[in-house]
Amino acid sequence: MKKVGLTGGIGSGKSTVARMLADEGFPVVDADQIAREIMEPGSPVLAEVADVFGADLIDDTGALNRGELARRAFAFTEQTAKLNAITHPAIRAESNRRFAAAEAAGERAVIYDMPLLVDLGLDEEMDLTVVVDVDADERVRRLVDKRGLAEPDARARIAQQVDDATRLAAADVVIDNNGPEEALATQVEKLVGLLNG
């Protein structure tokens, strides 16, 4: 089974590509979704987060106040590192469990939808790394117009990620999403051909 890492800067269209590949029948392991699931009420990861960042982050129903955690964890790199040290191993373990399940189900390929694939060096564990590429200014426009982010927020989030040149250098396949979505679909079809071939 081929492990296919799918990544791209925020606003590049990575989720759009993941949806297209899911529609083609490929199993998709979504790292962001796993990141949310490991912090569901009652989870051991959530308990550890509460230990380190404050029990008041958990409300009466056992749910996490994500906004407040973000405020406490992302203000200082040292705090961010502490949070990552708790969450990243759990995300990694759950991702690997899902890859194994896809392999056991006889899948030909599994898609790993992971924004930080290159940032964390996980591209080295993939058989193929696919990078969705869009100029940063256009990504900002799409994040503002289509996802309702404030422009400074969009730029700040882009600045937190690995730079485009580094991400592109890790790519085996580059999907250029500067054009319209129809052009994206054509390139995804090509990728599907490669994965099925």
Binding residues for ligand ADP (CB under 6 A): 8, 10-16, 142, 146-147, 177, 180-181, 184
Rounded CA-CA distance 175/113 in Å is 14
Closest distance of CB 101 from ligand ADP, Å: 24
Q: Tell me the residue type at 68.
A: E
For residue 119, the minimal CB distance to ligand ADP (Å) is: 14
Judged by beta carbon, residue 90 or residue 114, the one nearer ligand ADP is 114
Our CB check for ligand ADP shows the closer of 87 and 177 to be 177
87 is in an annotated binding site: no
Among candidate residues 10, 7, 1, 56, the one with its CA nearest the CA of residue 159: 10
Choice between 20 and 45, CB closer to ligand ADP: 20
Which of 171, 174, 34, 192 is closest to 113 using CA atoms?
A: 34
Q: CB 53 → ligand ADP: shortest distance, Å?
A: 26
Residues in contact with 143: Cβ distance below 8 Å, sequence separation at least 6, in sequence order: 10, 11, 149, 154, 157
**Least Å distance between CB 13 and ligand ADP?**
4
Q: Is 11 known to sit in a ligand binding site?
A: yes
Least distance from C-beta 115 to ligand ADP, angstroms? 7
Is 16 one of the annotated binding-site residues?
yes
Three-class SS state of 131: strand
Among candidate residues 30, 32, 17, 9, the one with its CA nearest the CA of residue 195: 17
Contacts for 30 with CB less than 8 Å, ≥ 6 apart: 18, 113
Cβ proximity to ligand ADP: between 49 and 130 the closer is 130
Q: In terms of CB distance, is 184 or 191 closer to ligand ADP?
A: 184
| DSSP string for residues in 80-110 | HHHHHHHHHHHHHHHHHHHHHHHHHTT-SEE
Binding residues: 11-16
Binding residues for ATP: 11-16
